[in-house]
Every structure is written in structure tokens, then in C-alpha cells.
Amino acid sequence: MARITIYHNPRCGTSRNTLALIRNSGEEPAVIEYLKTPPDRATLMALIDAMGRPVIEAVRTKEALFQELGLDAPGVTDAQLINAMLAHPILINRPIVTTPLGTRLCRPSEQVLDLLPAPQRAAFAKEDGQPVVDAQGRRVGAN
């Protein structure tokens, strides 16, 4: 059983980079393509609760459907946001990663580094060429 799970959209560069960083640590995560296999209400609520962030942060507010459904209107409740994500999984922000160290929305992708139990095993650059990890497995630009 995988120690790490990623709620993944293979069409998303941030999600692909996050998955690659997980694999660069030597882990093979459980990959849930949430558009094909959306979480049920209990799972979605547990993920949001585990992240310890407001529900709105789990929503893709830049998705056109967000405005089309009126979810940007004043007074929209967390329950309405959750119902919208369940009805339209494209509204779930990604990637969400769970590990023994916690659960987090990994935007930007290097956020996942704080969740990985094992260090990076090699240098890593994002798809756009931006370096994230050096040859010694250290985060580039980290203080």
C-alpha cells in the first residue's frame, strides 16, 4: 500500500511536477485521477479538514465554471462550495497530496517537499526548466 496519495490531473503542469517530485524521492504514490474517480463527500471533506485551510482554498476559483455557477457571489456557503465540487470535480483545486507527514494542496509544486518522508534523490527541474532541487537533493533557493 502506498504511503503517499496524490489527487492528480495529468493535464495540469503543477500536478505533473508534484508527481515527479514525489517519484524523485523514491516513492511511488497512489495516483487518483480525480476527474475520472472523484472523491465522495466524506473523502473530500476529510481532505479539506486535514489541510486545515478554508474550503474556498480547495476550489479552483479561476475555473470559468466557478463564476458561471455564481460561486463568487457574496454569501456562498462552504456547503454550497462542497456540493459544487462534488457535482463538478473540475472545481477541485489540485494537486492534493497526503503523506504520513500531512495533507496539503501543493501549489506551487515544491510545497510537496515539506510532506515527503524521504529526501530527493537527484536534481529536479520543473517542466518549464525552473530548478527546484540541486544535485545534492537540496531545495534550490531554500534558506
Residue 107: the pLDDT is 95
Please report the sign of the dihedral spanned by the C-alpha atoms of residue 17, residue 23, residue 24, residue 25.
positive
Residue 104: the pLDDT is 97
- Residues 98 and 30 placed together within one structural domain of the fold: yes
One-letter amino acid at 83 equals N
The CATH number linked to 77 is 3.40.30.10
The crossing angle, in degrees rounded to 10, of helices 41-51 and 78-87 is 130
Residue 124 host element (H or E): strand 124-125
Q: Which of 65, 17, 13, 18 has its CA nearest to residue 5?
A: 18
Per-residue pLDDT of the chain (143 residues; tens, 9 = 90+): 679 999 999 999 999 999 999 999 999 999 999 999 999 999 999 999 999 999 999 999 999 999 999 999 999 999 999 999 999 999 999 999 999 999 999 999 999 999 999 999 999 999 999 999 999 888 997 54
- Residues 105 and 139 placed together within one structural domain of the fold: yes
- Residues 108 and 78 placed together within one structural domain of the fold: no
- Residues 16 and 52 placed together within one structural domain of the fold: no
Residue 143: the pLDDT is 46
CB 3 within 8 Å of CB 100: yes
- Residues 132 and 107 placed together within one structural domain of the fold: yes
CB 106 within 8 Å of CB 17: no
The pTM assigned to this predicted structure is: 0.94
Domain around 66: 39-92
Q: Active site includes 106?
A: no
- Residues 70 and 109 placed together within one structural domain of the fold: no
Quote the number of domains for the chain.
2
**Active-site position among 1, 2, 12, 132:** 12
Residue 137: the pLDDT is 87
Residues in the chain: 143
Residue 142: the pLDDT is 59
Residue 33: the pLDDT is 98
Residue 10 zone, left/alpha/beta (φ > 0; ψ -120 to 50; rest)? alpha
- Residues 44 and 87 placed together within one structural domain of the fold: yes
- Residues 85 and 100 placed together within one structural domain of the fold: no
- Residues 108 and 141 placed together within one structural domain of the fold: yes
- Residues 98 and 142 placed together within one structural domain of the fold: yes
- Residues 88 and 98 placed together within one structural domain of the fold: no
- Residues 28 and 98 placed together within one structural domain of the fold: yes
Picking from 72, 92, 112, the residue at the C-terminal end of a domain is: 92
